[in-house]
Amino acid sequence: MLAAGLLFALAAFPLFKTGEPTPTRQKLVFRGFPWRTAWRSLIAETAIGFDGLASSSAWSLLVAVAILGIHGDNQVYAQLGALLSVVLLAALAASYVYGTLIDRKKGGQLLHIAVAANSLVHLVRPFVSSAPVVAGVNAANEAATTGYSMAFIRGMFDTADLSGHRITYLGCIEIALNLGAMLSGVGILLFILALGDIAGMKSFYFLVAGVSLLIMTPKFHLYRK
For the stretch 125-149, pLDDT in tens is 999 988 788 888 888 898 899 899 9
Domain annotation covers residue 20: no
- The answer to whether residue 194 scores a pLDDT higher than 90 is yes
Cα–Cα distance, 40 to 218 (Å, whole number): 5
CATH label of the domain that carries residue 141 = 1.20.1250.20
DSSP state letter for 148:
H
Single-letter residue type at 182: M
Cα–Cα distance, 51 to 140 (Å, whole number): 14
* More confidently predicted of 182 and 74: 182
pLDDT at 111: 92
pLDDT at 77: 62
- The answer to whether residue 72 scores a pLDDT higher than 60 is no
pLDDT at 22: 66
State the residue range of the domain holding 75.
35-219
CB atoms < 10 A from the CB of 38, how many?
Answer: 23
Q: Whole-number mean pLDDT of the chain?
A: 86
- The answer to whether residue 76 scores a pLDDT higher than 90 is no
Domain annotation covers residue 8: no
Calculate mean pLDDT across residues 44-64. 93
Domain annotation covers residue 14: no
Domain annotation covers residue 12: no
Domain annotation covers residue 65: yes
Cα distances (Å, whole numbers) of residue 121 to 65, 118, 207: 20, 5, 12
Domain annotation covers residue 7: no
Model pTM score = 0.84
Percent of the chain with pLDDT over 70: 87
Q: Cα-Cα-Cα-Cα dihedral of 81, 86, 92, 94, to 10°?
A: -130
- The answer to whether residue 67 scores a pLDDT higher than 90 is no
* More confidently predicted of 201 and 73: 201
pLDDT at 129: 86
Domain annotation covers residue 196: yes
Question: How many independent structural domains does the chain possess?
Answer: 1
Domain annotation covers residue 187: yes
Q: What is the distance of C-alpha 35 from the center of its chain?
A: 23
pLDDT at 16: 79
User: Where does residue 18 fall: left (phi above 0), alpha (psi -120 to 50 degrees), or beta otherwise?
Assistant: beta
pLDDT at 85: 65
Cα distances (Å, whole numbers) of residue 5 to 2, 22, 81, 89: 5, 27, 17, 21
Cα–Cα distance, 196 to 208 (Å, whole number): 18
For 191-218, b/e burial (b = at least 16 CB within 10 A) is bbeeeeeeebbbebbebbbebbbbbbeb
